[in-house]
């Protein structure tokens, strides 16, 4: 069962190694995987911890922010002593403390449309826990063009959402999988959606969504269960209800829509 694992790794991952659908082969996939995490905030904090604990081989952590005292209500990756330090440095140190087998790369950068493609191209999987629409669109567009699976989530004061995107692949019926722009064609007008500084956010809700992101990334890497491609998971923390919204490819979308396909030269 150990395969290429050291005795320490066999003990560390013992509960995965005996787990149906994961086992030795699945743990090897985790060890070989390179995952880029966008954002080390409310969603990124639990996401990074669970991916590190799971034995993902390499984690890239992208964030340009510093730890503030108001972060600590939900960003459980950090301590009071970290206030004022770059989040990526604190996160990288936390990963190494948790699992020294994980290679971690700290990337102190704000992601935008100009740098996103070059950033995601070097990784196998991308998980976006950013807190703003420009970053989400930049990352999702980049993952489409670079053919990288993307797990993306968002939270509000008492609600959250999660989905997985593989729009560079097709459904069993032969239509493309949906893009992020099929789900959300346009960002909302600036100021229409209040940020957490204005509206607040329930700390444990961020933990729940971040952990679900990690679960979905692990499922994508190992390859088991029914994924969230074409399904948006919605969580209402006030009534603790979970439900799904199905969505599909929009022929009008600007990435792989019908107009794009019609313009492609025939070989």
Choosing from 90, 143, 182, 196, the catalytic residue is 196
Helical segments of 99-174, H only: 116-120, 133-146
Any idea which residue has 């826990």 for tokens? 129
Report how far apart the first and last C-alpha atoms of the chain are (Å, whole number): 47
Cα distances from 65 to residues 38, 49, 199, 226, 228, in angstroms, run 12, 18, 20, 35, 30
Distance, in Å, from the CA atom of 104 to the CA atom of 93, rounded to the nearest integer, reads: 9
Dihedral over alpha carbons 111, 115, 116, 119 (to 10 degrees): -100
Distance, in Å, from the CA atom of 263 to the CA atom of 212, rounded to the nearest integer, reads: 39
196 catalytic residue (yes or no): yes
Q: Is the torsion defined by CA of 86, 101, 39, 237 positive or negative?
A: negative
Distance, in Å, from the CA atom of 213 to the CA atom of 194, rounded to the nearest integer, reads: 23
Distance, in Å, from the CA atom of 10 to the CA atom of 151, rounded to the nearest integer, reads: 28
Active site residues per annotation: 196
């Amino acid at each position: 069962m150990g395969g290429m694992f050291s005795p320490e790794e066999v003990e560390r991952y013992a509960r995965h190694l005996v787990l149906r659908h994961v086992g030795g082969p699945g743990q090897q996939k985790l060890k070989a995987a390179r995952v880029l995490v966008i954002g080390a905030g409310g969603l990124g904090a639990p996401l990074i911890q669970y991916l590190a604990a799971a034995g993902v081989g390499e984690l890239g952590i992208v964030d340009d922010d510093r730890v503030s005292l108001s972060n600590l209500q939900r960003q459980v990756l950090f301590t009071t002593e970290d206030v004022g330090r770059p989040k990526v440095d604190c996160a990288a140190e936390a990963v190494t403390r948790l699992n020294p087998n994980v290679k971690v790369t700290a990337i102190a950068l704000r992601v935008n449309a100009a740098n996103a493609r070059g950033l995601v191209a070097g990784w196998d999987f991308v998980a976006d826990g950013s807190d703003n629409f420009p970053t989400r669109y930049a990352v999702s567009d980049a993952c489409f063009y670079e053919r990288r699976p993307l797990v993306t989530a968002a939270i509000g004061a008492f609600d959250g959402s999660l989905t997985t995107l593989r729009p560079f692949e097709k459904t069993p019926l032969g239509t493309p999988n949906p893009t992020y722009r099929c789900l959300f064609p346009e960002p909302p007008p600036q100021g229409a959606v209040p940020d957490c500084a204005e509206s607040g956010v329930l700390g444990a809700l961020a933990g729940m969504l971040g952990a679900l992101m990690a679960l979905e990334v692990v499922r994508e890497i190992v390859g088991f269960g029914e994924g969230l491609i074409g399904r948006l998971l919605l969580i209402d923390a006030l009534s603790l209800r979970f439900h799904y919204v199905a969505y599909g490819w929009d022929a009008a979308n600007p990435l792989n829509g019908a107009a794009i396909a019609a313009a492609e030269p025939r070989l």
